[in-house]
Amino acid sequence: GLFFHRPPLVTATSTLPSYAPWTLTWRLPYAAVAAAQTQPKQQEIHVDVGEVARLRDECRAVNPECGYKPPLAFDPTKCLECWACEKACPVGDKFLFNQSTCLLCGKCAQVCPTGAISSPPMPIRETLSKLKEEGKVTIAQVAPAIRSVLTEEQICYGLHDLG
């Protein structure tokens, strides 16, 4: 099905003034945009991180659920004050992070040498109840590490089993 077509290439560039320009390339988990395109060049999508932040704010103004983000946890007893988190942040957040500008990219948690920053998992019961809410659409993003070890059928079965 459409869900498992090869995803389009995405390039993201930061134009935020507080951080040096950078470029990141990754593959989208879904190919809905690229499915209608036949040429590889037409399947490329460019995303500006500053524009994503602006759109996120507009989305929050219209739909409060759009702004839901799992919190990042900070344990000050583990912090060495090396500021690697601040250097890694694409929006230049000073820790403790600013919830309104945080993109929740996880770069700060990835570079933290002591694990002082983490993203706690959502409780399983709460997650399952959200998946089964009537009148809502659930979109699942399957990590490349998972897709490499499970077959398409196993992933579909797991998603179906969750609701």
Q: What is the pLDDT along the chain (163 residues), one digit of tens a residue?
A: 333 333 334 444 444 443 333 333 333 333 344 444 555 555 454 555 566 666 666 665 655 555 455 567 778 889 888 888 888 887 765 555 555 667 767 788 888 899 888 876 666 677 777 777 777 777 777 766 677 777 888 877 777 776 6
Extended strands (E) in 14-122: 23-27, 45-48, 73-74, 117-118
**pLDDT of res. 71:** 64
pTM here is 0.38
**pLDDT of res. 30:** 32
For residues 33 and 90, what is the distance between their CA atoms, to the nearest angstrom? Answer: 26
According to CATH, the topology of domain 69-120 is Alpha-Beta Plaits (3.30.70)
What are the structural domain ranges in the chain? Answer: 1-67, 69-120, 121-163
For residues 42 and 51, what is the distance between their CA atoms, to the nearest angstrom? Answer: 21
Terminal alpha carbon distance of the chain: 18
